[in-house]
Amino acid sequence: MDLNLQGKRALVTGASSGIGEAIATMLAKEGATVVVHGRDEARTRATTERIIAAGGQAHAVFGGLDDDASRSSVARQTEEEIGSIDILVNNAGGMTRFDSPSWDQLHSSDFIATMNQNFVSATYLTHHFAGAMIERGWGRIINMSSAGARKLTSNIYDYAASKAAMESWSFNLSAELSPHGVTVNCIEPGLILTSGAHIYLRTLRDEFGWPDDQAEMERLATTDINPQTIPRLGRPEEIAAAVAFLASDWSAFTTGACWRIDGGVSRGV
């Protein structure tokens, strides 16, 4: 299937590694000119150079997305590199605490920091770029959520809340922008085999005495620890393929949707 992304310009935030890198790589492979954003300059440049070496068109921009000044800098760098954009993938984000705090250990500052990093940054960039999309009558905004947004959990309250906010905002925004040819959708990944997931698997291996076998560690993690119907972790390329479709003309009738790509961990409508 030809996704017809030649000539399209895309910004992928948090694209120096993991899911974001896979998304940027696939969009470039499909013909889009991609801006690779990341905090780490060396990793971001390396990802950009790999895309170019493979025949794609890519540019690197650097900086955090923690406040309006840094967000403005990323937007300005993007426009300096490629002008306006047609596709915005709000992928950057993550947890601000990694110690699995209980509900009574989280403070308002923790919620504010996580919400700011995962949600507010997406609203800022969307506000900055969506106007030009509306003027052209074509645009794609794809927001990265998480299975944690709907899954009952006891250790990622702030992270889950920020992703639930992302979904609610995306649904409402789609009603405003879709009549102008700009679709807004979410992707809700489950546990994906990124570098962080590799560390997670090795931690479980050491804790439970699992064999040092990748396939078996994935099977045990997705049956005994985080039960799901497909007994392995997802791959970044599987998320990237869904994003590439949502970025294409083939998805013009898809808006206000949230695609669960989680191996069956969410068992509901």
| Residues noted as catalytic | 159
- With contact defined as beta carbons under 8 Å apart, do 188 and 145 qualify? yes
For residue 222, with 0-12 CB atoms within 10 Å meaning exposed, 13-18 middle and 19 or more buried, which class applies? buried
Alpha carbons 233 and 214: distance in angstroms, whole number:
10
Helix (H/G/I), strand (E/B), else coil: 209: coil
Residue with tokens 């068109």: 57
Give the sign of the dihedral formed by CA 148, CA 91, CA 219, CA 196: negative
Backbone φ and ψ for 58, nearest 5 degrees, come out as: -150, 150
Alpha carbons 269 and 81: distance in angstroms, whole number:
42
- With contact defined as beta carbons under 8 Å apart, do 29 and 54 qualify? yes
For residue 69, with 0-12 CB atoms within 10 Å meaning exposed, 13-18 middle and 19 or more buried, which class applies? exposed
111 to 99, 103, 140, 244: CA distances (angstroms): 14, 11, 29, 31
Largest CA distance in the chain: 58
Q: Which of 99-107's residues contact partners 24+ apart within 8 Å by CB, and which partners? A: 100/155, 100/156, 101/155, 101/157, 102/154, 102/155, 103/154, 103/157, 106/157, 106/158
